[in-house]
Structure 1
Amino acid sequence: MTPTDRPLQIAYSPCPNDTFVFDALAHGRVPDAPPLDVSFADIDITNGMAERGELDVLKVSYAVLPYVLDTYTLLPCGGALGRGCGPLVLTRDADTTDLTGRTVAVPSEKSTAYLLFRLWAADTVPGKVGDIVVMPFHEIMPAVRDGKVDAGLVIHEARFTYQNYGLHKLADMGEHWETTTGLPIPLGAIIARRALGQTTLTHLAASIRASVRAAWGDPEASRPYVMEHAQEMDPAVADQHIGLYVNEFTADLGTDGYAAVRGLLTRAAAEGLVPALGPTALEFP
């Protein structure tokens, strides 16, 4: 049991990568793992929960880390980093090449996608981007299609489905990040309450790694859990989603993973988008 003698309260998204990663752990198939009390919430909700200090373990955007690291520590596994998997900026008009003065819909202003977008815009948009409109990510492509906004910043499976809305890719935020830094794209992080203590935190990280390896070892075992929460997603799209967002960085951030996280947050702080990190803020107990 945990030091509080109760299951750890954890919230992650219903997206296929999270359910794939946590399937074995959530269903008691990782020997000696701490028990979990699982709830599901989209990342904009879990970001807010982290800022309020709710729950023991949360999947959040890397962009929220500077606001919560006094209470939570970044776990070295379980999250989403990768290559070729960044957010896209979409437009209705294929001839649109400049977002100066344009209205852009984004899923959150405290998201990695938004930080990557602002860093891209700082490098490539000659004037200032126009109004930013925050809306749920599943509403963004219809809003662009219907002309309610000039462009949209999209994430997740929208990479594979935007053509169905007649939309066009203006730019790939991840491609810009990778080209300018050579680093993978930091997207979603797993954080845990520091007050759990070093022993529990180390045990939890080891259990998450074991859950990832179990999913890789028997992908079909996780399919019912993945599809139950995939919001009617096509199974082939769910597989693409998992293939992009579950990789070696999910098992262990490693040197490149930590460099990517610190690089993103350092650049964002230099642009005034987030508070600066302390030198030991990302260290795992």
Structure 2
Amino acid sequence: MPCLLKVALNKDKNEEAQKEVEMALFSLSNINGVTEMKKELYLKEITEIIKHHQERLNLTQLAYQSTWEFLIFRYENDKSLAETIVNELHFSREATRELEKLTECVNRKMKENKLEKNEMQEIQILMRWLRLLNNFFISCKLWKEEHAEVERRVVSLFRTTKVKEKRISDLCISLIATIAKSEAVGVDDLLKGGIVDVAFEEIHCLTLEIDTFTYCLELLKEICDRIKILIAQRYDVGMLRTMRTEIFEVFEEDGYEDLIVSFQEMLPFFVDECFQYGLSKNYEDYFIRF
């Protein structure tokens, strides 16, 4: 690792040096999170690499994503990195910016019907970012306004890719469910970012695939569970009622409650077949009662 970090710190702009930097960072990204190491061995160097890119944009998209992948993998075992990742290096802001650039490229090529499966680098890097964000939100407990921007970007990406690029939309809906369960994101943030809208929209699709349907149920149950906890803690009842109204009553005309009840006999099948943690076989758990 010290040798790879030394190569990655090379700031020469010639093509050969840049290729060596990219290969070094890509190699570092393949050191998985199970491998424990003291942050004194890497944090100063990785922070310097990220900050230099933020100032000079000297890395390729793959190299920059690989740098963050190495750091987020370390974060899974060392939560003391939260301050550096969230507040100093602004991971959510950086991920949003990279997703925007990659999404523009993918959308343009989808319109031109120029996507070549398993060959387009932008798709592969985009998918790597989505997987990395999933790891981040599983671990992160530190709120930052920038998280909401990630949420909105992922929701938008899901909507634009769910027809023509299922590989990406599947990762998006999985990430959306993870964000809904993250301690770093509040219920009101889920409303503002459009995650709740996506869940309701998708759950009413007659051709919805079983895994997507399960993710949506998981998401809605998580929101119900959070509000129930706030009720138990004697949180502001008026505010909770307003929140419930915002979440559910807008969709009453679409028959959300009737839809869930209609799945009463099938819920055990969904829970057992999809192996999704946190789901309940009791349809009442997907509602909020005052």
Q: Could you say which structure has the larger radius of gyration?
A: 2
Q: TM-score of the superposition, structure 1-length normalised?
A: 0.25
Q: TM-score of the superposition, structure 2-length normalised?
A: 0.25
**Structure with the larger helix share:** 2
**Structure with the larger strand share:** 1
Looking at both structures, which has the greater relative contact order when contacts are Cα pairs under 8 Å and sequence separation is at least 6? 1
